[in-house]
């Protein structure tokens, strides 16, 4: 993870783009790139989208990851630690015995409460 952060911040800094990369604009860029990813699936089944756009999907996922990692860097958030903490929170919200094979939101799994 440190190597990726170093590579993307070096890429940005070599071009003097840090001046444009405030958190608001990074969040906007993240959303725009996620929308470009979503657009590749529009009007297609998942299988069709993958078959027709595998390279483009890879590029858009990389763009999304780029902005996620830049934001983590600028916010001093360890992305690995953040993901592990979020997985733990989700494990508590979605215990296996209640959520296995279900697409219900945690509020439905817990009888409409946020236990």
> Helices then strands (H, E): number in the chain?
6, 0
DSSP 43: T
14 pLDDT band (50/70/90 cuts)?
very high
pTM of the model: 0.86
The sign of the dihedral angle between the CA atoms of 85, 89, 94, 97 is: positive
Judged against a pLDDT cut of 50, whether residue 115 lies above it is answered with: no
Angle between helices 46-75 and 2-14 (to 10 degrees): 80
Judged against a pLDDT cut of 80, whether residue 113 lies above it is answered with: no
pLDDT single digits (tens) 40-81: 999 999 999 999 999 999 999 999 999 999 999 999 999 999
**Of all residues in the chain, what percent carry a pLDDT higher than 90?**
86
**Of all residues in the chain, what percent carry a pLDDT higher than 70?**
97
> According to the model, what pLDDT value does residue 111 have?
72
């Amino acid at each position: 993870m440190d190597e990726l952060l170093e590579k993307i911040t070096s890429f940005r800094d070599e071009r003097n783009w840090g001046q444009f990369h405030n958190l608001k604009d990074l969040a906007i860029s993240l959303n725009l790139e996620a929308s470009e990813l979503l657009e590749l699936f529009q009007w297609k089944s998942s299988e069709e989208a993958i078959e027709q756009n595998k390279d483009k999907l890879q590029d858009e996922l990389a763009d999304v990851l780029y902005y996620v990692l830049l934001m983590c860097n600028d916010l001093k958030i360890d992305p690995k630690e953040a993901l592990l903490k979020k997985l733990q929170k989700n494990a508590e919200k979605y215990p296996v015995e209640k959520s296995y094979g279900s697409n219900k939101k945690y509020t439905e799994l817990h009888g409409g409460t946020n236990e």
